[in-house]
Structure 1
Amino acid sequence: MLLELGPRRYVRHRKAVVASRRPAGVTFGNGVTTALTPERAAGWLTVDGHAVVVLIDGDPQEDAAAWARRVDERFAVHFLVSASTAERLGDLPSRLYSVTGQGDGPEVELASVRSWMHQWRRRWDLFVVDASQPLPDPDVIVQLQHAAYVYHDGGEVGFVTPAYSTGHALAAGYDIDRRQGRVVPAVTPLRDYGQAAVPRYVLTAARHAFYATSDALDRVDLAERSVADADFDTQIARLVRHGWAGNIRTLCFSSAVVRVHELPALRLAGEQRRWALDRLVRTAGGATRVVFVLNATSISGGIRAVFEIANGLAERGFEVEIWSLEGEPTWFDLHVPVRTYTTYEDLLLSLRNVDAIKVATWWETAQVVWLASVNHGIPVYLIQEFETWFYPNDAVAQAAVVSSYRREFASLTEASYQVEELAEIGIEATLIPHGFDPKAFHVLPDWTRRDDAVLALGRSFFQKNFAMTERAWRALGEERPTLMLFGTEPGILVDERVEYSERPRDAQVNELYNSATIFVQTSRHEGFCLPVLEAMAAGCPVITTDSHGNRDFCRDGENSVFVAQDDAAGLAAAIRGLMNDPAERDRLRENGLRTAAQYAWPVVLDRVAAFYSDLALSASQADAVAEPVVGARRPATEAPVEPADDRP
């Protein structure tokens, strides 16, 4: 190769090879990655680049000749241009371009271009330019080609589109808004987490800067009549739709940005609308099928909530399954089957053939469910937490999380705080609270409640902020009561006045709630805060912080006592005051019991079942889900329940 390229070109070649293999960015377990940098793309092009046909639709206002020469420097390229544009190509060799509509040149329509490529440029890729927009930088074409061939390990990406920037708005592709039943640009919302830079799959695209691999153009089954008499944007949208039918994915590689005068307007109509919205999710026997997708089945509050919902739906006549990367749980009495896969990709390959409502339960499962619902089923996102909270110091992970919240999902959450957080990024969600199991958590008759014991969850996870509870308890000095803790970390606090219950079952936790004088929870943030609700159901007075997810059902001075975040002195005073005031404890207890009664699972699950039933009905009629479904609303005094890992 040294002799072939010569010393200088060989050095450049070796540098490009090294750059193409240099680790960069982050790759998550579900395949989302930010590792495809411009540097890697440039290096990859030197070694593995593909020849490209560039179709310029219309007459550019810019210097087309200069732009064409810059593209020619990067690729083996052939241009398809209008006669008037050809006249402006100056000294560009005529072998590098063909004139559309003349001689052997194709018409500016998709069927004609594909046919022409099969005749004259077989195995060449296609890049389309809308000449009414600014000409894209050739480096963008490099990035799109690199993404087309490298982004997905399984090679299913066939089409790639960039993000569009108007100068005042940035659109990371287009969404099909399930609530509104229309195509909307995925414009950066009021609150920006950098999510627009995270690549994302899309169900439709415009023609400008659209990249298609030769393999995808060969494989997509798109009859000429399907694109006849349609404008070019609509033709590209139909190509994308038919590509998805053959599991050929379209990726918005949104870290590549092209400037546009205005965002192309795309429509959802006819066959494409039916494909996107008309779904059958009932079995032959008429039962609505629901598949919950989990990353794990281990002990956590969020997973417990999913299991409770799964059992409840099964009891109400739904056909329910759990699909997970872990096997059946040993800690929960689950009444539905669990199907186990080794990787998300393995799970996806099976799930995308299933007609069912498919429910993402954690942000990493969202892309799996979204992809699995492109052709079959309805994607639902059970958002138990605005999951950026799990990555307080990781901007890339936060961006990836936020990019998983999409308008194609029917989004469901359990706290008004999450509804507000989602609204800030342009996502509308239906609010239905979680619940507690009244058979497990209730007042025990003839049980003696201690008057010298504070109960708390003994867990070191940063969101729980157990350190605040410990500081307040120690500040009480010799007056400090017995501190009863439960969880999986018996060494979290060692003291002669500490009693730790390790890995208790529900019945044991209920006994703790019935034994303690008060229950204290000092979380910085919760999706819902189920332990507080369980304590109320067992008649245990509660002291808590404002942890966001508990706002819907915790009311300071009415059914609980609020203290400020990290105010250990204030918490110590609240503990001391409540320990010495039996009448106030009785008042909080009675109000807490009334609150908890609104959140018993039998009550909540009826509303959950209505949500899924109405979703199945609307999808079978190809209707948009414009409003939260009947039965999904809550009384103004109600609140949701928590997701997260609250109890071991």
Structure 2
Amino acid sequence: MKLVIPVLSLETGGTRFIYQLANEMVDKGHSVEIVLPENAVVAWPLRAQITRVKELSPDAIPPADFILPNFYPTVFPAWESKKGRVVRLSLGFEPLWVAEKEKALASYLINAPIISISEWHRQLILQGTGRNSTVIPGGVDSTVFCPYTKKSLSTGRLTIGYILRSKEHGYTWKGSEDFWQACQNLAELVPGFDIQVVAPEGANYHAPLPYEIVKAHADSEMARFYAQTDIFVSTSYFEAFSMPPLEAMACGTAVVTTDNGGNRDYTKNGENCFLVPPSDIQQLTLILAHLLTQPNTRNQLAEVGRHFAQSWTWRNSADKLETLLLQLART
């Protein structure tokens, strides 16, 4: 099959879905072409063909068996091009958070099949549009995201890891203030822990506690960040899938995450992670205190999470995508 995926950019974050699926589909023998604007960032090591164009107009879309636009502005040129069958890949239900809500909603109402990335995400789209979708979940590359030696073994101080995405950069749903408040409360209960953060946009938060910024531009660096911490925390209010907790599990780190909807397909509270309600700072504080002071619980949570993550592969995701497209090709 020839697949064309028009994108605005391939920066960090949710575009990992595109990068991973594109590479896996290439490895499965399909032709994949990523089309994006001239100056767009490509942060991932793609094995697919990359074509740069002046703008993502209908004329700039190459012919294909299937065209998979993902973000709402890419849907309309793909649809208007009539260069191949459009399958609308949704990495998040945009009407919830973009300014152009009506245009974003319209991108779901064209007569094209829709791919969602979690059961919760599917329900969101169904409630918002009346249209069903096929769930193709994310995965984790466990050859990259794997355990390393914990930093605490040499420092004697346990480390909490966090990905800092601030409101100043538009990430109003990540709950960073909740994280810092919980850490401030935690320091009164269990003093003597360290905090390490990765700040993809270079955010420099005026936090109530000292913390270390870790630079992690490549997957191998991100994996080492996850693996060297003892506890990884995610505080998002909602996510379509939420990959960081799954990646941290694969790295053998105990995970505490909010119940953000998109992670329900892979989180099992008390087994492979601890789940807390979004914005429940008190419960987050108490669970972190419990994990900091109970090494057996922390280690067991990390070990179960690591084994669980092994089955969540990108090849499985690509297999599901291939099955869907082959079914569509027969109709």
In 1, Cα distance between equivalents of 2:49 and 2:43: 15
Pick from 169, 172, 195 the counterpart of residue 483 of structure 1: 195
Correspondences of 1:257-268 after superposition (within 5 Å):
none
Residues 169-218 of structure 1, C-alpha deviations (whole Å, 9 max, x = no match): xxxxxxxxxxxxxxxxxxxxxxxxxxxxxxxxxxxxxxxxxxxxxxxxxx
User: 2:269 maps to which residue?
Assistant: 556
Amino acid at match of 1:455: G
SS in 2 for 1:536: helix
User: 2:117 maps to which residue?
Assistant: 414
Pick from 468, 473, 484 the counterpart of residue 183 of structure 2: 473
Segment drifting more, 603-612 vs 577-586 = 603-612
User: 1:575 maps to which residue?
Assistant: 288
SS in 2 for 1:360: coil
User: 1:362 maps to which residue?
Assistant: 71
- Kindly state the Cα deviation for residue 329 of structure 1 after the two structures are TM-superposed: 5.0
Task: Report which of the two structures shows the higher radius of gyration computed on alpha carbons.
Answer: 1
- Kindly state the Cα deviation for residue 529 of structure 1 after the two structures are TM-superposed: 0.6
In 1, Cα distance between equivalents of 2:218 and 2:9: 19
- Kindly state the Cα deviation for residue 511 of structure 1 after the two structures are TM-superposed: 1.3
- Kindly state the Cα deviation for residue 326 of structure 1 after the two structures are TM-superposed: 4.2
Report if the CA contact (8 A) 2:79-2:86 is conserved. Answer: yes
Aligned-residue identity in percent: 24
Is 1:437 the counterpart of 2:141 in the alignment?
yes
Amino acid at match of 1:607: K
In 1, Cα distance between equivalents of 2:322 and 2:291: 40
- Kindly state the Cα deviation for residue 497 of structure 1 after the two structures are TM-superposed: 3.2
TM-score by length of 1: 0.47
Residues 526-576 of structure 1, C-alpha deviations (whole Å, 9 max, x = no match): 111100000000111111111111111112112111122212222111111
Is 1:405 the counterpart of 2:108 in the alignment?
yes
Correspondences of 1:199-238 after superposition (within 5 Å):
none
User: 1:453 maps to which residue?
Assistant: 159
Report if the CA contact (8 A) 1:474-1:480 is conserved. Answer: no
In 1, Cα distance between equivalents of 2:253 and 2:38: 35
- Kindly state the Cα deviation for residue 293 of structure 1 after the two structures are TM-superposed: 0.7
SS in 2 for 1:502: coil
User: 2:212 maps to which residue?
Assistant: 499
In 1, Cα distance between equivalents of 2:55 and 2:323: 32
Number of corresponding residues = 319
Pick from 347, 356, 371 the counterpart of residue 80 of structure 2: 371
Correspondences of 1:141-220 after superposition (within 5 Å):
none
Residues 576-598 of structure 1, C-alpha deviations (whole Å, 9 max, x = no match): 11111111112212221232122
In 1, Cα distance between equivalents of 2:126 and 2:150: 46
User: 1:311 maps to which residue?
Assistant: 23
Report if the CA contact (8 A) 2:180-2:208 is conserved. Answer: no
In 2, Cα distance between equivalents of 1:505 and 1:548: 27
Residues 229-257 of structure 1, C-alpha deviations (whole Å, 9 max, x = no match): xxxxxxxxxxxxxxxxxxxxxxxxxxxxx
SS in 2 for 1:301: coil
Residues 499-522 of structure 1, C-alpha deviations (whole Å, 9 max, x = no match): 111343211211121111100000
- Kindly state the Cα deviation for residue 360 of structure 1 after the two structures are TM-superposed: 0.8
TM-score by length of 2: 0.90
Segment drifting more, 335-344 vs 535-544 = 335-344
RMSD of aligned C-alpha atoms? Answer: 1.9
Structure 1 residues 612 and 326, CA gap change in structure 2 (3 angstroms)? farther
Report if the CA contact (8 A) 1:438-1:601 is conserved. Answer: no
Is 1:388 the counterpart of 2:95 in the alignment?
yes
SS in 2 for 1:311: helix
In 2, Cα distance between equivalents of 1:463 and 1:496: 22
User: 1:321 maps to which residue?
Assistant: 33
Residues 129-182 of structure 1, C-alpha deviations (whole Å, 9 max, x = no match): xxxxxxxxxxxxxxxxxxxxxxxxxxxxxxxxxxxxxxxxxxxxxxxxxxxxxx
Amino acid at match of 2:140: F
Amino acid at match of 1:434: G
- Kindly state the Cα deviation for residue 328 of structure 1 after the two structures are TM-superposed: 7.1
Q: Which has the higher contact order (CA 8 A, sep 6+)?
A: 2
Residues 69-88 of structure 1, C-alpha deviations (whole Å, 9 max, x = no match): xxxxxxxxxxxxxxxxxxxx
